[in-house]
Every structure is written in structure tokens, then in C-alpha cells.
Amino acid sequence: MSAGLSSGSNDGLEPIDRTAKRPVVANGILGMMLFILTEVMLFAGLVSAFTIAKSAAPVWPPPGQPRLPIEATAFNSVVLFASAVALLFAHRAFHKGDRESMRRPMWLALGLGSFFVIFQGFEWVTLLSEGLTMTSSTYGAFFYLIVGIHALHAFGAIALLARANHRLQQGWLTPGLFGAAEMFWFFVVGVWPVIYLVVYL
């Protein structure tokens, strides 16, 4: 597109500041807030569906199906929370304007988040080999559906966070991008305990 209004560095994610007055919330953050509202409802729908299927079953979990690894996932949840805490430190440093001491917690948050997703992947492989599949029962189907959709969101959030980190290394991380990325990651972390309580326990 033309260069005049949308500047060259603009990729559609970085909103253009169009007015002189200061908005209550930056464009990128407001957009992400609205997106997260939608996502919360997506998970609300999934969790509701799961609750109904669970209550309709005579025995839950269905007999003859492998059990979900509650302890290992509890450990993994702690890793996820640690990543959110690391991001909080980055948040603090960012708002103090201290870009140097922000780098380490950013890398830590990214690393722990990636560990969570990879660990989940290993868990899936084990469960699949034990005979829990999408077609073996609604138990398995809902497990892979809900946890899978959460994992997809985790992927997206990590990608956005990595992008923010890349910008940080280049030295022009904007509050809009960082705010949106951290908000999405906090959403992914925040929705996980609900999933753990409903699906695993």
C-alpha cells in the first residue's frame, strides 16, 4: 500500500496514532482486550460442553480409559505460573523504563512457556500410546479438544511474546505491542487453572 498514511514499519499490528488526544487505553491494548473477551467465551463454551457431557455420563471418567497424569501436570502448571511471574518482572522493568534488566525475565518467561507446551506434547504422546484417543470416548475427545485449543493459544501467545522480545532486542518495543503480548500471555496462564480443575481433577 501507499506509504503516506501507513508508515513503512507498520504491519497492521502496530496501530497508527491518529489523534492528538491521549486515549484511555492504547489501541493495541484495547484491541487485545476485546479479543480476549471473545477467547474467554470460547473457553466458557468448551468448559460448559464438557460439564454437560460429564454429568450425562453414568460413570466419570469412563471405565477402561487411562487416567490423566494429575501430578505431572501439576508440576507443569507451576512452570507455567513461574513464566507469568517472570513476565511480571519484565512488566515492572518496562514501566520503569529499564530495558536492560527487562531482557532476562523476558527470555525466562519465553523459555518456561515453551517448556510448558513441549511438556504437554510429551504428555499427549504418552496418553495416546496408553489408548486415550479422540474416538475412544468423549472423555478423550474433550481432553484433546480443550487442552489442544489451549495449547494453540499458548503457541500464539509465545509467538507474540517472541515478537515483542525481538523488538526489545532491536530497541524499539512499543507499550502497545508489549501490553498486548503480555495480556495475551496472562490470559493463557489465567485460563489454565480453570481447565486443570475442570478437566483433570
> Which residues are near other proteins by CB under 8 A?
1-6, 10-13, 15-16, 18-21, 23-27, 30-31, 33-35, 37-46, 48-49, 51-57, 62, 134-135, 137-138, 141-142, 145, 149
- Answer left, alpha or beta for residue 17, where phi above 0 means left and psi between -120 and 50 means alpha: beta
Q: Which is nearer to other proteins, 43 or 192 (CB)?
A: 43
Query: Shortest Cβ distance from residue 118 to other proteins (Å)?
Result: 24
Give whichever of 10 and 126 is closer to other proteins, judged by the CB atom.
Answer: 10
Which of 162, 158, 168, 145 minimizes the C-alpha distance to 188?
158
Question: Shortest Cβ distance from residue 82 to other proteins (Å)?
Answer: 27
Output the smallest distance, CB 98 to other proteins, in A: 27
Spatial distance between the Cα atoms of 199 and 16, rounded to a whole number of angstroms: 42
User: 5 CB contacts (<8 Å, ≥6 apart)?
Assistant: 16
* Cβ atoms of 105 and 89 closer than 8 Å: yes
CA-nearest of 79, 74, 84, 44 to 185 is 84
Q: Is 171 left (phi over 0), alpha (psi -120 to 50) or beta?
A: left
- Give the shortest CB-95-to-other proteins separation in angstroms: 19
* Entry field: residues in the chain: 201
**57 or 125, CB closer to other proteins?**
57
Residue type, 129: S
Q: How far is the CB of 61 from other proteins (least distance, A)?
A: 11
- Work out how close the CB of 186 gets to other proteins at its nearest, in angstroms, rounded to a whole number: 14
Q: Which is nearer to other proteins, 1 or 97 (CB)?
A: 1
By beta-carbon proximity to other proteins, the closer residue of 42 and 70 is 42
Which residues, other chains included, contact 97 with Cβ-Cβ below 8 Å and sequence gap of 6+? none
Give the integer Cα–Cα distance in Å for 161 and 171. Answer: 15
For other proteins, give the closer residue by CB, 52 or 85.
Answer: 52
